[in-house]
């Protein structure tokens, strides 16, 4: 259920938070737009990793790698190239089950569950039109928060944007969880408490 917003529309939400002039395109040569071009991908990916966003979930079945781990684990699996976060690794990637133990090292998932492995993960979503509208708002306030002191030099902007970002992130995560009826496994409770 993508909101259909373009990258420049997201940039303009950021600029609106900072009371700056809007951009016509992402190719605008002004310093704020150049900053956004540099920082948008990493901030987007970091925010995607924070949640279990329904719009970013992907299910795949992966085969074990030809090389087995040297010790401790029975199998290793190459992570999909677009994977940002592995969601609880359970039989058939269903929720409500105790997750299997696994370990991520580099670009591999180590586990004792035999091949093929059914995994559910958060993928990198590069098409902004696929973003949920609440995720979009949280991303814009996150970018504005990161940019605020550099742009304005005012701590008051940083403080107000920190509160706005926390509120928008919480609302987006809550709605996403309700809509997707995703049961939070015990290994994610600490992560959510820190947000």
Give 122's strand partners: 57, 85
Among 93, 123, 153, the domain boundary falls at 123
Instruction: Write the CB contacts of 153 (distance below 8 Å, at least 6 apart in sequence).
Output: none
64 and 111 part of one domain? yes
**DSSP assignment letter at 181:** T
Among 103, 123, 143, the domain boundary falls at 123
108 and 17 part of one domain? no
Task: Report how far residue 44's alpha carbon sits from residue 42's, in angstroms, rounded to the nearest whole number.
Answer: 5
Question: Percentage of the chain surpassing pLDDT 70?
Answer: 85
Question: Percentage of the chain surpassing pLDDT 90?
Answer: 70
pLDDT on residue 2: 61
Task: Report how far residue 193's alpha carbon sits from residue 14's, in angstroms, rounded to the nearest whole number.
Answer: 26
Q: What's the domain count of the chain?
A: 2
Say if 102 falls within a structural domain: yes
Using one digit for the tens of pLDDT, what is the confidence trace for 107-130? Answer: 999 998 888 888 899 999 999 999
pLDDT on residue 190: 34
Using one digit for the tens of pLDDT, what is the confidence trace for 162-188? Answer: 999 999 999 999 999 888 775 544 444
110 and 132 part of one domain? no
pLDDT confidence of 90, banded at 50, 70, 90? Answer: low
Say if 117 falls within a structural domain: yes
**DSSP assignment letter at 183:** P
Q: How far is CA 188 from CA 4, 16, 66, 144, in A?
A: 30, 34, 31, 27
102 and 161 part of one domain? no
Say if 2 falls within a structural domain: no
Using one digit for the tens of pLDDT, what is the confidence trace for 119-168? Answer: 899 999 999 999 999 999 999 999 999 999 988 888 888 999 999 999 99
Using one digit for the tens of pLDDT, what is the confidence trace for 20-33? Answer: 999 999 999 999 99
Peptide bond into 116 cis (omega under 30): yes
> The domain containing residue 102 runs over which residues?
56-123
Contact of 45 with 126, CB cutoff 8 Å: no
pLDDT, mean over the chain: 87
């Amino acid at each position: 259920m993508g909101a259909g917003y373009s990258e420049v529309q997201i940039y303009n939400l950021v600029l609106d938070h900072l009371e700056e002039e809007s951009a016509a395109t992402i190719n605008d040569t002004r310093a704020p737009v150049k900053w956004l071009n540099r920082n948008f991908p990493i901030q987007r990916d970091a925010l995607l990793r924070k949640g279990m966003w329904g719009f970013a979930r992907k299910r795949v079945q992966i085969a074990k790698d030809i090389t087995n781990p040297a010790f401790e684990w029975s199998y290793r699996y190459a992570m999909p190239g677009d994977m940002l976060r592995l969601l609880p690794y359970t039989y058939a990637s269903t929720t409500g089950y105790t997750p299997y133990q696994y370990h991520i090292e580099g670009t591999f998932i180590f586990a004792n569950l035999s091949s093929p492995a059914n995994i559910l993960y958060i993928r990198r979503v590069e098409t902004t039109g696929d973003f949920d509208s609440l995720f979009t708002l949280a991303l814009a306030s996150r970018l504005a928060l990161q940019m605020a002191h550099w742009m304005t030099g005012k701590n008051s902007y940083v403080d107000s944007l920190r509160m706005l970002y926390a509120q928008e992130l919480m609302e987006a995560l809550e709605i996403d969880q309700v809509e997707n009826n995703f049961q939070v496994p015990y290994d994610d409770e600490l992560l959510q408490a820190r947000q």
